[in-house]
Amino acid sequence: MPFQIMIPAYLPKDFERATMSIKLDKAGPGGEPMVELAYVTKDGATVTVEEWVPVNPKLEVLAASRPIETKWGRGWLLKQGDLLAAVWTDVGPTRVSVFTTDLDVLSAEGLLAVAETLGPASNKQVFSFEAKPRKIKAMAPPKPFVVPVSKDGVQELTLVVTPGGYSPLRFAVKKDVPVRILFRQLGEVGCGNELIFPSDPANPQSLQLESASDQKVLKYTPKTVGTFEFHCSHLMYRGLVTVTQ
């Protein structure tokens, strides 16, 4: 692997380290080499740790997640009711995903504890089930990307939807200044090929890409100050546009 594999020092006591399975033939979101570690309990509950070095960290995001604080800095938490929880965090250049579908055995806070104890495998690795997972804290989102104004007096932006979400995820435009958005996709995005955009918050516009190479242009002049959500047709992909004075 082009990076050092890390293992967690903390796992709840029911998860067996001796029977951990490892896969080295996995691929990350951008096709990068990935390692997958799976720890299982005697009852079949599983926690999975995936590690890779992203080709483009800004484009590879955890769709529908929210930013959280981690020991390593900014992280992401995705929780889908009682069905799934996942924590992403960057340990140096390596991105790590820790997830489980067995939330009755390992909570979202437990996943964060696993992620925060990652380290190089060694004979000094500690097995501890007495760690006290800390409360998950939301991290303030980054400031929105400010769309520049061209020489022609138009705010021009390329909005890309990828399997991981929108880029940029948040951007800001000025009220009463024309906006031109070029919408395109990168990779297989499913319902993300349709963009529902609040050019008029009361009457959003829809753009639909017909193929992976298709591009669509949206032109409008924002009239209402505020922050508005844009999304795909199934609300799986979401982003925010802020209109300022």
The pLDDT assigned to 159 comes to 96
The pLDDT assigned to 129 comes to 45
Residue 34 domain-assigned (yes or no): yes
Q: How confident is the model at residue 3 (pLDDT cuts 50, 70, 90)?
A: confident
The average confidence (pLDDT) of the chain is: 90
The closest of 22, 29, 10 to 186, measured between CA atoms, is: 29
Q: What is the CATH number of the domain that holds 84?
A: 3.30.200.100
Query: Is 151 found in the same domain as 93?
Result: no
Residue 220 domain-assigned (yes or no): yes
Residue 78 domain-assigned (yes or no): yes
Q: What is the CATH number of the domain that holds 184?
A: 2.60.40.420
Considering only 68-72, 94-98, 122-126, which range has the smallest mean pLDDT?
122-126
Task: Give me the mean pLDDT over the 114-133 stretch.
Answer: 69
Residue 136 domain-assigned (yes or no): no
Token duo for residue 134: 């800390």
Task: Give me the mean pLDDT over the 58-65 stretch.
Answer: 79
Buried b (16+ CB within 10 A) or exposed e, 147-170: beeeeeebbebebbbbbbbbbbbe
The pLDDT assigned to 131 comes to 58
Q: How confident is the model at residue 225 (pLDDT cuts 50, 70, 90)?
A: very high
Token duo for residue 5: 């594999």
Query: Is 180 found in the same domain as 98?
Result: no
Q: Which range marks the domain in which residue 180 is found?
A: 145-244
